[in-house]
Amino acid sequence: MVVRLAEPEQADRVFHALADATRRDIVRQTMRGEYSVSGLARLYPMSFAAVQKHVAVLEDAGLVTKRRSGREQLVSGNVATVLEAGRLLDQFEALWRDRMDRFGEILAEDPNEGVRQ
């Protein structure tokens, strides 16, 4: 599943999902390898249901995918969405770097340049 963060609602879902430390860690874990939801639940000091809810938020944001294997639901990180989020953040960084460069140029200008005496 390819997620396009150009849609503001999708970007909101991704960054909302990443705002939580547990969800960020789940993304990290599932980027390293596939986990069952119960396997993920063993990694955190919370209930299975709480981990399921975190996984559901991540899945809705497109940051992880789930597939069934027998009775288990296996969770994998979605590299495409993480890369797309990184590209969006890179765009913001470029915008702010450009603004700071222009600000520096304004400060470097001679205030007397172009003034007649």
The CATH number given to whatever domain includes residue 43 is 1.10.10.10
| pLDDT band of 106, cuts 50, 70, 90 | confident
Phi, psi of 7 (to 5 degrees): -80, 120
- Residue 116 maps to a domain: no
- Residue 115 maps to a domain: no
What is the pLDDT, as a whole number, of residue 107?
80
Q: Does residue 117 or residue 104 have the better pLDDT? A: 104
CA–CA gap between residue 104 and residue 14 (Å, rounded): 33
Indicate if the pLDDT at residue 102 is higher than 90: no
User: pTM of the full predicted structure?
Assistant: 0.77
- Residue 88 maps to a domain: no
- Residue 61 maps to a domain: yes
What is the pLDDT, as a whole number, of residue 116?
65
| Domain total of the chain | 1
- Residue 108 maps to a domain: no
List pLDDT tens digits, range 33-76: 999 999 999 999 999 999 999 999 999 999 999 999 999 999 99
- Residue 86 maps to a domain: no
Residue 72 belongs to what domain range? 8-78
Report the candidate in 62, 25, 66, 22 with the shortest Cα–Cα distance to residue 46. Answer: 22
